């Protein structure tokens, strides 16, 4: 408990460097990751992340120590190599890109693990800690790393700011970018370089196995909350930064714990919450909307059936019992009563004893639905040549979604017809 | 039926285009006149999109060449505008209509350049021309198909080009959008600009265009409209249009209608 407080209050310079380091890495990864998310290239980052492991091991074997400069150079080389190999495989063989990515990812990771095991058995004393590149160890960040991370973070952010409009365009419409003469190849190269840079620096805190999550998940979560690219990038950076901070907290409080899984847990929980509660795009709000739509369809159907019964009996203000109503059309009782109560509240229907009838307003509404139903049936049978006995089902849905604008066009197109394909009168 | 002209906007010289070595367009050889509204007509898979992509340098040519204003495309990039098929992009992209139109200014702004006030007001003008100024700030996925098509058109207008290639700008748009788009295209040609439009509806093609290119993997005709076909023939071949239907399908998709009605 005490150590948590110590961490939160940043009471020791070590903590400061750990926090700043993790936050810089995760936030800037989230920023460049937003573009790979929008380009639907999420897996590429994953392949690069796994492919840096052999580079790290190779750098260690050649230099004999864990100097971050060597490590990063090694990581950069194999990370890049993986992209080139993916590109070659996709272009020269019949394999699709996702297959090529999976292939490169697994093969290079396997090589990396073999090398790592060999190093661990070599008896070299300074190898301890190399393991932490697998799942990340934020607490291992020290002042020396910090300078480099800051440099990388600044480069990443600067490039995104400088080339923002171009990166945005190639993510949205690459062909158009090509036709206006933008150097699309160079820009794509820039973006992949930024991703490789983000990955190479990020592995210290997150680890190669889970690095892709920190690139993509913040963007995926942010997308739920906004429709504006700038806001989305900022939000992704904040989400990334928060999970980076949380990860380093865990790493500090429980030093034996790897950081990567914690960072990914935090960012995934944020994504999951967004998935449920985000306004408009979230599942809950979508379900609510669907329920509302369903309720309004039910109400319209009730008005329609009351209208049709009145039409049959040549008296539109006739009142009917629920039994008669459910005989006309099967309404589930569970939903029927609340729906009628809602209609009553809106004064679209009246209730006398146990009988229900339409108000003037309800009558108009019911009439409109019946009209739309019959117009649509007529449209289908005249314009699509669908047999009259096949048009009803379709009209049952369409009648509820035709807008007033489409309604008047439909009327004009069919020239205010008198009868539908079943020879029933179309009411206006 | 082929009519050649002098001083063309575009010249295809024995152009063959292949995907994976399989040619889909064979030896296209034609000249298209400046200042005309030109329709490229042909059935699905005829290679219409391929033809204009090849002209825009988006696809490698297996043989032949394409000349734009009697020169190389790269010399005239800023004078040429391309409107891709609406389905070619993901409209769920987090951006607004005005931002899409501003993309038409990027070539003029240049790499690293910032978008200026002038660019913004020009983009707004273009949106106004297509009747979309009220939707400038709207997220693009919330626009209807016809409105998205108008945004693409506004982006092309913002390029202030002399030659326009448009891939199916009339596909899936309602009747009022159709006539709005057609008006804009006519205005462009009246200003002496060349507009080349991929179109699949033969009947309306007869009303829309000055010049018709008939295509089906090879060139069948390239000539002024009156030389290519007569109104009667077309009316016989093609029935009424179904734009209302495509709008309804879009509404169904947008509103997430539950499929079976049991309530
Ligand atoms: N990227 C592609 N790879 C392979 N074949 C393609 C590709 N794009 C189009 N084709 C093929 O080329 C032919 C012409 O396509 P396209 O130009 O899109 O036709 P249109 O626009 O006239 O409908 C079609 O047979 C299509 O299947
Ligand atoms: Mg096409």
Do A401 and B257 make contact, defined as CB atoms within 8 angstroms? yes
The 3-state secondary structure of chain A reads: CHHHHHHHCCCCHHHHHHHHHHHHHHHHHHHHHHHHHHCCCHHHHHHHHHHHHHHHHHHHHHHCCCCHHHHHHHHHHHHHHHHHHHHHHHHHCCCCHHHHHHHHHHHHHHHHHHHHHHHHCCCCHHHCCCCHHHHCCHHHCCHHHHHHHHHHHHHHHHHHHHCHHHHHHHHHCHHHHHHCCCCHHHHHHHHHHHHHHHHHHHHHHHCCCCHHHHHHHHHHHHHCCCCCHHHHHHHHHHHHHHHHHHHHHHHHHCCCCCHHHHHHHHHHHHHHHHHHHCCCCCHHHHHHHHHHHHHHHHHHHHHHHHHHHHHHCCCCCCCEEHHHHHHHCCCCHHHHHHHHHHHHHCCCEEEECCEEEECHHHHHHHHHHHHHHHHHHHHHHHHCCCCHHHCHHHHHHHCCCCCHHHHHHHHHHHCCCCECCCCCECCC
Q: Which ligand is nearest to the CA of B55?
A: 1
Q: Is B207 helix (H, G, I), strand (E, B) or coil?
A: helix
Residue A43 in domain: yes
Residue A303 has which token pair? Answer: 């008005």
Do B263 and A179 make contact, defined as CB atoms within 8 angstroms? no
Do A406 and B244 make contact, defined as CB atoms within 8 angstroms? yes
pLDDT of residue B260: 45
For tokens 């890495």, the residue is A25
Nearest CA to ligand 1 atom 6: B19
Query: Considering only CA atoms, which of A79, A103, A77 is closest in space to residue A89?
Result: A103
The 3-state secondary structure of B10-70 reads: EEEEEEEEEECCEEEEEEEEEEECCCCEEEEECCCCCCHHHHHHHHCCCCCCCEEEEEECC
Smallest Cβ distance to A179: which of B56, B112, B247? B56
Residue B60 has which token pair? Answer: 């490698």
- What predicted TM-score, i.e. pTM, was given to this entire model? 0.84
Q: Which residue of A has its CA nearest to B241?
A: A383
Residues of A in contact with B93 (CB under 8 A): 38, 171-172, 229
Do A398 and B242 make contact, defined as CB atoms within 8 angstroms? no
Mean pLDDT, residues A349-371: 91
Q: Are residues A147 and A276 in the same domain?
A: yes
Query: Considering only CA atoms, which of B33, B61, B19 is closest in space to residue B213?
Result: B33
Q: Residue B79 carries which DSSP code?
A: G
Q: Are residues A414 and A316 in the same domain?
A: yes
Q: Are residues A212 and A135 in the same domain?
A: yes
A397 at the B interface (CB within 8 A)? yes
A175 at the B interface (CB within 8 A)? yes
Q: What's the CATH number where A147 sits?
A: 1.10.3470.10
Please give the residue range of the domain that contains residue A139.
Answer: 11-281
What residues of chain A, 297 to 316, have a C-beta less than 8 Å from chain B? 297-298, 301
Q: Is the model more confident about A392 or about A113?
A: A113
Query: Considering only CA atoms, which of B8, B21, B71 is closest in space to residue B211?
Result: B8
Helices (H) and strands (E) in chain B, counts: 10, 9
Instruction: For residue A13, name the pLDDT band (cuts at 50, 70, 90).
Output: confident
Residue A385 in domain: yes
Measured distance CA(A321)–CA(A342) in Å, rounded: 17
The full length of chain A comes to 428
Q: Are residues A320 and A342 in the same domain?
A: yes
pLDDT of residue A401: 85
Best of B15, B17, B50 to mutate for ligand 1, by most ligand atoms within 8 A of CB?
Answer: B50
Q: Are residues A175 and A202 in the same domain?
A: yes
Q: Is B142 exposed, middle or buried, given 0-12, 13-18 or 19+ CB atoms closer than 10 A?
A: middle
Q: Are residues A233 and A156 in the same domain?
A: yes
Q: Is B125 helix (H, G, I), strand (E, B) or coil?
A: helix
Best of B47, B52, B202 to mutate for ligand 1, by most ligand atoms within 8 A of CB?
Answer: B47
State the best of A34, A175, A179 to mutate against chain B, taking most chain B CBs within 10 Å. A179
Q: Are residues A19 and A167 in the same domain?
A: yes
Question: Final residue of a domain: which of A281, A308, A331?
Answer: A281
Smallest Cβ distance to B89: which of A173, A223, A290? A173
Residue A6 in domain: no
Residues of A in contact with B87 (CB under 8 A): none
Residue A409 in domain: yes
Phi-psi region at A353: left, alpha or beta (left = phi > 0; alpha = psi -120 to 50) = left
Residues of A in contact with B74 (CB under 8 A): 181
Reported ipTM: 0.87
Residues of A in contact with B163 (CB under 8 A): none
From the CB of residue B84, how many other CB atoms can be counted at a distance below 10 Å? 22
The alpha-carbon gap from B50 to the nearest alpha carbon of chain A, in Å, equals: 13
A245-to-A20, A21, A121, A312 alpha-carbon distances in Å = 8, 9, 34, 70
Do B53 and A175 make contact, defined as CB atoms within 8 angstroms? yes
CB-CB contact of A337 with A350 (8 Å): no
Residues of A in contact with B240 (CB under 8 A): 383
What residues of chain A, 228 to 257, have a C-beta less than 8 Å from chain B? 228-229, 232
A178-to-A311, B57, B229 alpha-carbon distances in Å = 63, 8, 36
Q: Is the dihedral of CA B242, B244, B248, B251 positive or negative?
A: positive
Q: Are residues A323 and A180 in the same domain?
A: no
Measured in Å, how far apart are chain B's first and last C-alpha atoms?
A: 60
Q: Are residues A254 and A324 in the same domain?
A: no
The alpha-carbon gap from B227 to the nearest alpha carbon of chain A, in Å, equals: 32
Q: Is the model more confident about A325 or about A186?
A: A186
Q: Is B82 helix (H, G, I), strand (E, B) or coil?
A: strand
Residues of B in contact with A384 (CB under 8 A): 242, 245
Residue A3 in domain: no
Could you tell me what percent of chain A has a pLDDT over 90? Answer: 42
CB-CB contact of A253 with A202 (8 Å): no
Do B111 and A183 make contact, defined as CB atoms within 8 angstroms? yes
Contacts of A367 by beta carbon, 8 Å cutoff, 6+ apart = A307, A427
Q: Is B218 helix (H, G, I), strand (E, B) or coil?
A: strand
Q: Are residues A272 and A398 in the same domain?
A: no
The full length of chain B comes to 263
Question: Final residue of a domain: which of A281, A302, A336?
Answer: A281
Q: Are residues A275 and A356 in the same domain?
A: no
Question: Final residue of a domain: which of A255, A281, A307?
Answer: A281
Number of domains in chain A: 2
Helix (H) or strand (E) holding B197, with range, is strand B194-199
Residues touching ligand 1 (Cβ under 6 Å) are B 19, 24, 42, 44-50
Measured distance CA(B88)–CA(B68) in Å, rounded: 24
Pick the atom of ligand 1 nearest to B51's CA: 17
Q: Is A1 exposed, middle or buried, given 0-12, 13-18 or 19+ CB atoms closer than 10 A?
A: exposed
A82 at the B interface (CB within 8 A)? no
Smallest Cβ distance to B106: which of A165, A289, A298? A165
Q: Are residues A237 and A156 in the same domain?
A: yes
Task: Give Cα A19 distance to the centre of its chain.
Answer: 28
In this structure, the dihedral spanned by the alpha carbons of residues B109, B114, B116 and B119, taken in order and rounded to 10 degrees, is: 40
Residue B87 has which token pair? Answer: 């389905």
Contacts of B118 by beta carbon, 8 Å cutoff, 6+ apart = none
Residue B207 has which token pair? Answer: 């009303």
Residues of B in contact with A379 (CB under 8 A): 244
In Å, the largest CA–CA distance within chain B is 67
CB-CB contact of B114 with B197 (8 Å): no
Distance B222 CA to ligand 1 centre (A): 21
- Tens digit of pLDDT at every position of chain B (263 positions): 788 888 999 999 999 998 877 888 888 999 999 999 999 998 888 899 999 999 999 999 989 999 999 999 999 999 999 999 999 999 999 999 999 999 999 999 998 899 999 999 999 999 999 999 999 999 999 998 889 999 999 999 999 999 999 999 998 788 788 889 999 999 999 999 999 999 987 778 878 999 999 888 888 888 898 877 654 434 433 334 445 666 666 666 666 655 544 44
Do B263 and A294 make contact, defined as CB atoms within 8 angstroms? yes
Do B248 and A229 make contact, defined as CB atoms within 8 angstroms? no
Do A401 and B248 make contact, defined as CB atoms within 8 angstroms? yes
Residue A4 in domain: no
CA atoms within 13 A of residue A276's CA, in its CB half-sphere: 5
Average pLDDT of chain A to the nearest whole number: 88
Distance A112 CA to ligand 2 centre (A): 46
CB-CB contact of B26 with B19 (8 Å): no
Residue A300 has which token pair? Answer: 């319209």
Residues of A in contact with B248 (CB under 8 A): 398, 401-402, 406
Residue A1 in domain: no
Residue A96 in domain: yes
Q: What's the CATH number where A390 sits?
A: 1.10.10.10
Measured distance CA(A163)–CA(A187) in Å, rounded: 8
The alpha-carbon gap from A4 to the nearest alpha carbon of chain B, in Å, equals: 38
Do B74 and A169 make contact, defined as CB atoms within 8 angstroms? no
Write the DSSP assignment of B139-187 as a string of letters. Answer: BGGGS-HHHHHHHHHHHHHHTT-SEEEEE-TTTT--HHHHHHHHHHHHH
Q: Is the dihedral of CA A4, A8, A11, A16 positive or negative?
A: positive
């Amino acid at each position: 408990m005490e150590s948590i407080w110590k961490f939160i209050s940043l009471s020791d310079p070590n903590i400061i460097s750990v926090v700043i380091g993790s936050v810089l890495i995760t936030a800037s990864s989230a920023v460049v990751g937003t573009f790979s998310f929008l380009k639907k290239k999420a897996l590429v980052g994953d392949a690069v992340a796994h492919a840096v492991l052999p580079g790290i091991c190779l750098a260690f074997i050649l230099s004999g120590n864990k100097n971050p400069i060597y490590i990063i150079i090694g990581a950069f080389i194999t990370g890049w190599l993986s992209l080139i190999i993916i590109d070659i495989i996709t272009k020269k063989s019949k394999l699709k890109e996702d297959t090529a990515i999976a292939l490169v990812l697994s093969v290079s990771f396997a090589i990396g693990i073999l090398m790592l095991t060999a190093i661990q058995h070599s008896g070299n004393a300074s190898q301890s800690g190399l393991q932490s590149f697998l799942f990340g160890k934020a607490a291992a960040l020290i002042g020396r790393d910090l300078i480099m991370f800051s440099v990388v973070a600044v480069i990443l952010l600067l490039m995104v700011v400088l080339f923002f409009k171009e990166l945005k365009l190639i993510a949205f419409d690459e062909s158009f970018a090509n036709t206006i003469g933008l150097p699309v190849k160079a820009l794509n190269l820039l973006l992949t370089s930024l991703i490789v840079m983000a990955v190479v620096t990020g592995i210290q805190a997150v680890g190669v196995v889970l690095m892709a999550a920190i690139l993509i998940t913040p963007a995926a979560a942010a997308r739920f909350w906004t429709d504006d690219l700038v806001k989305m990038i900022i939000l992704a950076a904040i989400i990334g930064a928060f999970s980076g901070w949380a990860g380093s907290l865990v790493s500090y409080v429980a030093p034996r714990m790897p950081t990567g899984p914690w960072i990914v847990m935090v960012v995934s929980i944020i994504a999951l919450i967004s998935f449920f509660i985000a306004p408009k795009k979230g599942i809950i709000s979508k379900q609510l909307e669907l329920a509302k739509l369903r309720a309004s369809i039910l109400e319209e159907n009730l008005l329609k059936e009351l209208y049709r019964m009145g039409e049959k009996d040549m008296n539109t203000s006739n009142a009917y019992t629920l039994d008669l109503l459910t005989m006309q059309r099967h309404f589930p009782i569970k939903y029927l009563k609340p729906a009628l109560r809602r209609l009553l509240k809106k004064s679209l229907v009246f209730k006398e004893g146990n009988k229900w009838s339409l108000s003037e307003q309800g009558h108009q509404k019911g009439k409109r639905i019946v009209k739309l139903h019959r117009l649509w049936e007529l449209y289908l049978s005249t314009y699509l040549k669908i047999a009259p006995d096949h048009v009803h089902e379709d009209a049952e849905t369409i009648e509820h979604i035709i807008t007033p604008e489409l309604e008047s066009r439909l009327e004009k197109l069919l020239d205010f017809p008198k009868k539908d394909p079943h020879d029933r009168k179309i009411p206006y | 039926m082929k009519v050649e002209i002098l001083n063309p906007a575009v010249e295809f010289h024995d152009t063959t285009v292949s995907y994976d070595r399989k040619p889909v367009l064979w030896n296209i050889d034609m000249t298209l006149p400046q200042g005309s509204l030109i329709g490229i007509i042909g059935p699905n898979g005829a290679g219409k999109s391929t033809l204009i992509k090849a002209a825009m340098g988006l696809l490698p040519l297996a043989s032949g060449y394409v000349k734009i204003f009697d020169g190389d495309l790269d010399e005239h990039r800023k004078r040429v505008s391309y409107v891709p098929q609406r389905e070619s992009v993901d409209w769920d992209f987090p951006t607004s209509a005005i931002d899409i139109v501003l993309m038409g200014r990027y070539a003029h702004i240049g790499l690293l350049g910032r978008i200026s006030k002038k660019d913004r007001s020009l983009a707004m003008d273009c949106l106004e021309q297509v009747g979309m100024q009220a939707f400038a700030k709207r997220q693009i996925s919330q626009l209807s198909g016809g409105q998205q098509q108008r945004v693409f058109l506004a982006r092309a207008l913002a390029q202030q080009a002399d030659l326009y290639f448009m891939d199916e700008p009339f596909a899936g748009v309602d009747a009022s959008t159709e006539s709005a788009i057609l008006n804009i295209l006519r205005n462009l040609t009246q200003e002496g600009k060349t507009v080349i439009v991929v179109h699949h509806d033969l009947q309306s093609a007869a009303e829309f265009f000055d010049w018709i290119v008939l295509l089906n993997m090879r060139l069948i005709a390239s000539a002024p409209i009156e030389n290519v076909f007569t109104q009667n023939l077309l009316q016989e071949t093609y029935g009424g249009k179904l734009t209302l239907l495509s709008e309804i399908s879009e509404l169904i998709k947008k509103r997430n209608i539950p499929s079976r009605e049991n309530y």
